Each structure stands twice: as C-alpha cells, then as structure tokens.
Amino acid sequence: MSSISQPMTMSGLRHDLRLIAGLIPQNSRILDVGCGDGALLAYLAKEKAGDARGIELSQNGVNACVSKGLSVIQGDADMDLSDYPEHAFDYVVLSRTLQATRQPEVVVSNLVRIGKHAVVSFVNFGHWKKRIGLLFRGRMPVNSPAFSWHSSPDIHPCTILDFVTLCKNLNLEIEVAISVDGQGKKQTIASNGRSANLLGEQAIFLLKRN
C-alpha cells in the first residue's frame, strides 16, 4: 500500500471526491458508478481529459448530468455492471455507494472486471464514534443523520477491516488504501489497518485483480 500525492487544482469538489480524483491519471477511460449530479464526472472529464461516463440510479440525477454534457445512463451497480465487457475502462469508481448495494461482493468483482483498476470509497462503520454510539447509546449506527436504521438505503455498511477481508477473499490487490479522519486529514492505511479502522471516518481503496 502506498500513498498518493494530491493535485492542487481541485477546489469545489467534495473532499473524498478530490482524493478519488487524485488516484486517477490523465487521459483515462473512467466509469463513475453512482455518479449523482456528476460533480466528480464533470471534474474528471474537464481536468483529466478522459473519457468519463456515469451510471446513476435517480433519473433526475441522470438528466442533470446529461444536460451538463456528461455521458450518463440510468442504472444501478447491482443490475447494470454485468452488461459491460472486461476492462472496458481504466478506472471504475464507486464512491459511497457500496453500502447501498444488494450484493457488494458481486459488485466489487464486477468493478475490477470491467475496470483495470477500481476505486471504492465508503464510510467506515468501525470509526470510534460509531462504536461508541452502539456501545453506550445502544443504537445502530447510520451513515447519515438523515436516516434511521429502518429508512436508510444503506443495507450493507462495513468497516475498513471488513472491506480488506472482502478484498482478500476476492484475491484483489490493494494498490492504495487511504483513510480520512474527522478533520479531513488523510492517512495511508497501514497493513493491519487496525488504527485506521478506529480513527478513519472514510476510506478510499484503489484495487485491481491479482
């Protein structure tokens, strides 16, 4: 696992998206799965001169993207990734979406199949605040205060250690692993991942098939 340098010209982009963008070289073919309103996609298309495309679940999000000139289709990670051929893209990005998929294992397998590299970011449920919430308050942690356990779309939240185990099971190489703490400070996740699992609020992984 190695660290990466952060490009300087990424203001206006959400912090985790900035880190993701920093992992992707110029002129790449990119698929952003769950691209939302296309913020990352627009940045990648403009700054990285790449062939950047998106999949988005909400039709409103899709229409917003296309009206900005981005190439986006309506679809979801569980259903639509299987349509694509192997290594159709250089990088496939799944940002803060894995926890909402029905079959995360299948989704991750598809990411590294259709992309030469996959970038996966998620909220770490092993973070100490989430642990304390459950330990002392006795309430299920959720991804966002907007949801309670029963209304959250996040049916498969995981911790950094959970995700590392999944990668091992799928025989994936973790090329880069970064955690971001509450202050937005990024750190390379050490090989055992235990401290990052406690202190990292978010995690970003760059993966490929072994």
Q: How many helices (H) and strands (E) does the chain have?
A: 8, 8
Binding other proteins (rule: CB under 8 A), the pick from 14, 68, 116, 208 is 68
Does residue 63 touch other proteins according to CB under 8 A?
yes
Shortest distance in whole angstroms from residue 74 CB to other proteins = 6
Does residue 73 touch other proteins according to CB under 8 A?
yes
Shortest distance in whole angstroms from residue 53 CB to other proteins = 7
From the CB of residue 146, how many other CB atoms can be counted at a distance below 10 Å? 8
CA Rg value for the chain = 16
From the CB of residue 1, how many other CB atoms can be counted at a distance below 10 Å? 15
Please calculate the CA angle 160-163-167 and round it to the nearest 5 degrees. Answer: 135
> What does the alpha-carbon distance between residue 149 and residue 139 come to, in Å, rounded to a whole number?
9
Residue whose CB is less far from other proteins, 31 or 142: 31
Structure tokens at 89: 């893209």
Does residue 57 touch other proteins according to CB under 8 A?
no
Binding other proteins (rule: CB under 8 A), the pick from 57, 70, 107, 204 is 70
Does residue 6 touch other proteins according to CB under 8 A?
no
Residues that bind other proteins (CB under 8 A): 51, 53, 59, 62-63, 65-75, 80, 83-85, 88-89
